[in-house]
Structure 1
Amino acid sequence: MANSYTYTEAFEELQIIVAEIETGKVNVDELSEKIKRASQLIAVCKAKLTATEAEVEKLLAELTEQLPQSDSALSAEE
């Protein structure tokens, strides 16, 4: 399921469900299913945020590793 939705799609659907619950548009019979679906969407969003955070940290680590080499190369040119 996590791969079939973008973060934006999952978040937008989650917002709709929350709005329906807050406004009382969900009857008692549907409430359990709506909450179950919201839980699934939260899991999708969390997985995507975690994956994005890991990717950003990896990229920042790579940049940090390259930075000292760039600084020493600049110093050698001067």
Structure 2
Amino acid sequence: MAETSGQQAPQVPSEIAGMSFEEALEELRLIVGRLESGEGQLDQAIDAYERGAQLKAHCEAKLREAQAKIEKIALGPDGTARSEPFEGS
């Protein structure tokens, strides 16, 4: 899947795919904090950046899923507002 910037989205490992939005976002915040502080070696920073990109992609996917659920709840087939049970994963 391509992002709007023309770059391809990073592959998300199964361990990240199994995370909740909140878990992934918290780890992403920790990575950003470490990168901003300049902690660690260059190789570690590159690895952290790559994992951060994977976490970001996972969070974006979770947000798109949530948006689709909200839209399903908000509009009926005729365009009028309605609510129906979500058949989620």
Instruction: Assess, with a 3 A threshold, how the Cα gap between structure 1 residues 61 and 20 changes in structure 2: closer, same or farther.
Output: same
Q: TM-score, normalised by structure 2?
A: 0.67
Which consecutive unaligned segments of at least 5 residues does structure 1 have?
67-78
Could you tell me which of 18, 21, 42 is aligned with 1:4?
Answer: 18
Which consecutive unaligned segments of at least 5 residues does structure 2 have?
1-13, 84-89
- Paired with 1:44 and 1:38, the residues of 2 have a C-alpha distance of 10
The alpha-carbon deviation at position 65 of structure 1 amounts to 4.8
- Paired with 2:36 and 2:18, the residues of 1 have a C-alpha distance of 27
- Which deviates further from its counterpart, 10-19 or 20-29? 20-29
- Paired with 1:65 and 1:12, the residues of 2 have a C-alpha distance of 34
Q: Give the helix-richer structure, 1 or 2.
A: 1
Q: Which runs of 4+ in 1 moved over 3 A?
A: none
1:13 aligns to what?
27
Is contact 2:73–2:82 with CA below 8 Å preserved after alignment?
A: no
Q: TM-score, normalised by structure 1?
A: 0.76
1:71 aligns to what?
none
2:81 aligns to what?
64
The share of aligned pairs that are identical, in percent, is 32
Bigger relative CO (Cα 8 Å, ≥ 6 apart)? 1
